[in-house]
Each structure stands twice: as structure tokens, then as C-alpha cells.
């Protein structure tokens, strides 16, 4: 027999779990899953931590510290990855994340725990951006959508089971093991990623360099929160990261720095967005003009925004204790925050100018309204209704279920984007108002479950639509910059709302009855933000 000729051999698209990419894929998914799990878990155990460390006065700031640090790390890691490669930012991020987890688990005082949350945020922010750049450079362009689909699942699973698992661990072994238990799992992930850290970049192909992708039928989940959802997100925190519940699939990849299809000459995703050739190549060429095209200016802006947000929240939290110094801190924080946002966001965003500026700001309004309540649901249920951590975690899980459903359904409807955004904001408002009933006397706390399904459903519809709309409204050479802007408003919206909620709890009081009253006030305030998003939705139209 003779061997078949090369021309007779059909092209076999590489598989992400094939021999060439298996270890890298598993390592990446494991790292993201661990970050997402931490983001989903901390909310459930925070009431227990607050009680044992006498840290209820820092409840809101514990979430905000993670998000603010992650915001800063997102920008800096993107700039770093564009110019020096993803290896060092990734390793630094993982080390910081592990150190932060260890410090949090070992914290004996509330100040140490707050510092640990900041270190975790730095680590998560660096790692997530570096992972996106790693995907761009390790995988061929036609394989990347499959990797991003896997990342969506890596956020979805922790969002579905993370709160309940964290509650069970806290009930059984103690809250410290929610942090300690993740650390050993990082080692196999790093071992599997060693080859990817040294792998040469793929050359860009025409389909990738065009900077075009059909985003009209995306489904799945965003890695922004967290946020912490992070997509960070996840790295709600919502994370986190984003926000760990997420909001999209491959069509929404530009939600995080590093996920845009605009690539540089080495095939790098627009990790930092505003900083470099990663945001300036693709069809149309050109580059982002102004401060968002200069690395140093972006670093200063990120520092000002993150620092300003921290000073602002500190001042707001201490207003009732020392009015004059706190008022000065609030003023300084507002000035720094305004300066940073003016550089990080597109022109007109702070004025809610019609079209793209309002679309990007809408992301922050959605995150503020939802996560400003989401972070306090476990506290309210455990302190007011005597729920255990496991039971309180179920309420957060239902929000992820609603989010998944809304994200899936929005991609299969032909309703105009601004109408979907309005519908999503209205659902968030309805869910928040229904949720406040869960702490009222004579009403079961389980009302939080249907309430958070409704609110999560609104987030799935609204956040996904905002992401896709922002990408469609962005010129090709600004997709990366505007993707980074979405992450900025996402994390800042969550951080400021949760920090303000914590300040309200401190002002009203820490007894169960006062926490119930504070939760009602928080829900009313966040529903007002959701109402504002509902009214502003029409301004997302470009015409």
C-alpha cells in the first residue's frame, strides 16, 4: 500500500481537548473555575466571617476591595501582556491570588481580611486578562471560539453550585476552608499550563485579522463579574470577577479586556483595549486616539479611578462618625474618580450621550442595581431569617439560573436592542423590589428565590444585549478600548453600589431588625438605579 498524498488528506480542525492542546485547555479551565468559585463562594460565607472577625462594619468594603483592585489589575495586566507577553502577568496573578486566599483563610482580624481581599482582586484581575491573551497566542484563530465556550462553562458551573458548596463547607468544616480548600487545586493547573507559557504565538490569519465576528446570536455566559461574573468577570466578587454569573458566549467576548477580535500582529486579543496595537489593527486600521491610546496615561487613569473609588467609599462609610474629614475624602475621591473615568471611558459617557457612551454606562447601572443587592442577600437571610450558609447560598444560585435563561432567550428574539435593555432593567427592578419582602416580618425568606430568578433573568437579557450592542457600535479600531470600558463600568458599578450598601448598614445598625431595615433601604436605592436604567435605555440607540 502507498501512503495517501498530502493533498488527499482532509483538513482536520484541531480539537481543544486533542493531544496538542489538552493540558493547556484543562489548565486554563481549572484556573478560571477556581477564580469563579471563589467569587461565588465569598458572598455566602461573608456573614459568618463578619460575625467571627467582628467585621460587619467592613462587610461592603470586603467586596469592593476585591473589585477595585481587580479593576486596576485588569488595565495594568493588559498593558503588560501586550508588551511583554502573558507569562509574567499570569504567574504574578496566580501567585497573588493564592497568597490572597491564604491570607483570607488565616486572617485573625478584619483589617487583615480586607487586605487579603484586595490581594485576591489583584491576582484575579491579572490572571483573567493574561489567560485571554494566552488563548489568543496559543490557539489557532478557528479554535478560539471553542475555548471561549469552555470558559463560559467554567463560570457557569461555579455560579450554579458554588454558593451551595461553599455553604456546606462552612457549615461542616468552617469558613476558612472555603479559602484554604482552593489553594491545592492551583498546583495541577499551573503544571498543565507550563507548556503553554513557553509556546510561541500563532500567526494571525485573515479571518482573525479582519476584526469581524457575527455576534447576533450569542448565548452562554460572560466572563466579566467578578467580576464576579468577570466575567469577571468575572470577578464578581461578582468578580468578580467579574461577574461570575456572566452574560454571554463567544459573541460577547469583547466584554473583558482581551476578548476583542481586534488583534495585533502577533495574534494577541485586545487585552488592554486602549493601550496598543491590539486595539488598533484589523479592518480599517488606525488606532484609538487620545489618552486611551497611551499606556502611561491609561495606568495613571486606572490608578486614579481605583484609588478615587476607594477613598470615596471610605469617606462615605465614615461620614456619620467624622463628618468633616470624611466629606473631604468624599470630595477627593470624586475628583480622582472623575479624572480616571474621563480617560478610561469614551467621550460623553459620563453625560450619558446617545449611542455608545450610554450603552457602556448601562453596564455599570445593571451591575450596581443587581450586585448592590446580591451581596447583601446572604447577610439578610442569615441574620434576619436565621438561614444557614447552605440555605442562603441557594438564593444566589437561583439568580444564576435566571441569568442563564435570560441570556439564552435574548439571543433568539428579534426585539430591538434598546427594548431588550429596557426589559432587562425592568426585570431587575421588579426582582429587587420583590426581594426586599424577604426580610419583612411574617413573610418567609424564601421569597428571595423567585425574586432573584426574576432579577437574574433581567441581567441575562440586559447585560448580554449591552455587550453585543456596544461591540456593534464600536469602530473596529476601538473595540478593544470599549471592551475595557465595559469592564471598568461593570466593576465600578458593583464596587460603588456594594460599598454604599455597606455604609448604609453601618449607619442604620447591626442588630437583626436594623439589618432588615438597612436591606430594605438598599433594595429601594438599587431599584431606583434600575429604574434609571429603564428610562435611559432608549438613549442606547445610535440614531
Q: Could you give phi then psi for residue 241, rounded to 5 degrees?
A: 20, 95
Specify which residues 226 forms β-bridges with: 241, 242
What residues have CB less than 8 Å from 220, skipping those under 6 apart? 149, 152, 153, 156, 246, 248, 249, 250, 407, 408
How does DSSP classify residue 231? B
Cis peptide before 240 (omega within 30 of 0): yes
Q: What pLDDT is stored for residue 480 in this prediction?
A: 67
Alpha-carbon dihedral sign for residues 189, 195, 198, 203: negative
Specify which residues 241 forms β-bridges with: 226, 235
CB atoms near residue 243 (< 10 Å): 44
What's the alpha-carbon Rg for the chain, to the nearest Å? Answer: 22
Cα separation, 468 vs 214, in Å, equals: 10
Block mean pLDDT (10 aa), the chain, length 543: 48 65 82 83 86 86 90 83 79 92 92 93 87 79 74 75 84 90 85 72 43 35 36 39 38 37 34 36 42 72 91 91 92 94 91 93 95 92 89 79 80 80 96 94 92 92 87 77 83 93 92 94 96 95 81
386: left (phi over 0), alpha (psi -120 to 50) or beta: left
Cα separation, 356 vs 366, in Å, equals: 16
In contact, 480 and 270? CB cutoff 8 Å: yes
Question: What are the distances in angstroms from CA 336 to CA 64, 273, 301, 493, 503?
Answer: 17, 22, 9, 16, 20
Cα separation, 232 vs 455, in Å, equals: 19
Q: What pLDDT is stored for residue 293 in this prediction?
A: 55
Alpha-carbon dihedral sign for residues 463, 469, 472, 475: negative
Cα separation, 455 vs 406, in Å, equals: 10
What residues have CB less than 8 Å from 458, skipping those under 6 apart? 370, 402, 406, 423, 424, 425, 426, 427, 428, 429, 430, 431
In contact, 167 and 45? CB cutoff 8 Å: yes
Total residues found in the chain within this entry:
543
Cα separation, 330 vs 309, in Å, equals: 9
Cα separation, 60 vs 58, in Å, equals: 6
- E-strand ranges in 170-261 read 225-227, 240-242
In contact, 128 and 234? CB cutoff 8 Å: yes
Q: What pLDDT is stored for residue 273 in this prediction?
A: 37
Q: Is 241 helix (H, G, I), strand (E, B) or coil?
A: strand
Cα separation, 55 vs 104, in Å, equals: 13
Q: What pLDDT is stored for residue 397 in this prediction?
A: 79
- H-type helices in 57-143, by residue range? 59-84, 87-106, 110-138
Helices 356-374 and 512-536 pack at an angle, to 10 degrees, of 160
Q: Is 224 helix (H, G, I), strand (E, B) or coil?
A: strand
What residues have CB less than 8 Å from 213, skipping those under 6 apart? 250, 251, 253, 261
Q: What pLDDT is stored for residue 276 in this prediction?
A: 36
Amino acid at each position: 500500500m502507498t501512503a495517501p498524498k498530502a493533498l488527499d488528506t482532509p483538513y482536520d480542525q484541531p480539537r481543544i481537548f486533542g493531544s496538542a492542546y489538552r493540558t493547556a485547555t484543562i489548565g486554563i479551565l481549572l484556573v478560571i473555575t477556581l477564580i469563579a468559585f471563589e467569587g461565588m463562594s465569598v458572598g455566602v460565607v461573608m456573614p459568618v466571617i463578619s460575625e467571627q472577625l467582628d467585621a460587619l462594619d467592613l462587610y461592603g468594603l470586603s467586596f469592593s476591595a476585591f473589585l477595585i483592585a481587580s479593576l486596576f489589575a485588569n488595565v495594568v495586566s493588559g498593558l503588560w501582556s501586550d508588551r511583554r507577553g502573558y507569562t509574567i502577568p499570569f504567574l504574578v496573578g496566580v501567585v497573588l491570588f493564592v497568597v490572597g486566599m491564604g491570607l483570607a483563610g488565616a486572617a485573625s482580624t478584619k483589617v487583615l481580611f480586607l487586605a487579603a481581599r484586595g490581594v485576591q482582586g489583584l491576582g484575579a484581575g491579572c490572571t483573567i486578562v493574561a489567560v485571554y491573551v494566552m488563548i489568543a497566542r496559543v490557539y489557532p484563530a478557528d479554535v478560539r471560539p471553542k475555548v471561549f465556550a469552555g470558559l463560559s462553562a467554567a463560570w457557569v458551573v461555579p455560579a450554579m453550585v458554588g454558593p451551595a458548596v461553599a455553604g456546606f463547607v462552612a457549615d461542616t468544616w468552617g469558613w476558612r476552608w472555603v479559602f484554604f480548600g482552593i489553594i491545592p487545586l492551583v498546583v495541577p493547573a499551573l503544571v498543565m499550563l507550563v507548556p503553554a507559557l513557553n509556546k510561541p504565538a500563532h500567526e494571525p490569519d485573515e479571518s482573525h485579522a479582519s476584526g469581524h465576528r457575527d455576534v447576533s446570536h450569542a448565548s452562554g455566559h460572560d466572563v466579566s463579574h467578578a467580576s464576579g461574573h468577570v466575567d469577571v468577570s468575572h470577578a464578581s466578587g461578582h468578580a468578580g470577577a467579574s461577574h461570575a454569573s456572566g452574560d454571554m458566549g463567544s459573541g460577547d467576548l469583547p466584554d473583558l479586556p482581551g476578548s476583542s477580535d481586534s488583534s495585533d500582529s502577533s495574534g494577541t486579543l485586545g487585552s488592554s483595549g486602549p493601550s496598543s496595537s491590539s486595539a488598533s489593527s484589523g479592518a480599517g486600521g488606525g488606532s484609538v486616539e487620545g489618552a486611551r491610546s497611551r499606556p502611561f496615561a491609561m495606568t495613571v487613569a486606572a490608578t486614579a479611578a481605583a484609588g478615587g473609588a476607594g477613598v470615596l467609599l471610605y469617606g462615605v462609610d465614615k461620614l456619620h462618625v467624622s463628618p468633616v474629614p470624611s466629606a473631604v475624602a468624599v470630595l477627593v475621591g470624586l475628583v480622582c474618580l472623575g479624572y480616571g473615568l474621563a480617560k478610561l471611558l469614551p467621550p460623553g459617557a459620563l453625560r450619558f450621550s446617545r449611542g455608545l457612551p450610554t450603552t457602556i454606562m448601562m453596564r455599570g447601572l445593571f451591575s450596581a442595581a443587581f450586585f448592590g443587592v446580591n451581596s447583601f442577600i446572604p447577610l439578610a437571610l442569615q441574620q434576619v431569617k436565621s438561614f444557614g450558609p447552605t440555605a442562603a447560598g441557594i438564593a444566589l444560585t437561583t439568580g444564576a439560573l435566571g441569568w442563564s435563561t435570560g441570556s439564552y432567550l435574548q439571543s433568539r428574539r428579534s426585539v430591538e436592542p434598546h427594548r431588550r435593555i429596557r426589559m432587562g432593567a425592568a426585570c431587575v427592578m421588579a426582582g429587587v423590589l420583590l426581594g426586599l419582602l424577604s426580610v419583612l416580618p411574617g413573610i418567609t425568606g424564601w421569597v428571595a428565590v423567585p425574586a432573584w430568578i426574576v432579577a437574574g433573568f433581567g441581567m441575562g437579557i440586559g447585560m448580554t444585549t449591552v455587550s453585543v450592542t456596544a461591540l456593534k457600535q464600536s469602530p473596529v479600531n476601538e473595540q478593544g478600548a470599549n471592551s475595557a470600558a465595559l469592564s471598568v463600568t461593570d466593576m465600578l458599578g458593583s464596587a460603588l453600589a456594594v460599598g454604599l450598601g455597606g455604609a448604609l448598614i453601618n449607619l442604620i445598625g447591626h442588630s437583626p431588625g436594623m439589618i432588615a431595615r438597612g436591606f430594605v433601604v438598599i433594595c429601594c436605592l438599587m431599584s431606583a438605579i434600575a429604574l434609571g436604567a429603564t428610562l435611559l435605555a432608549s438613549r442606547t440607540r445610535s440614531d
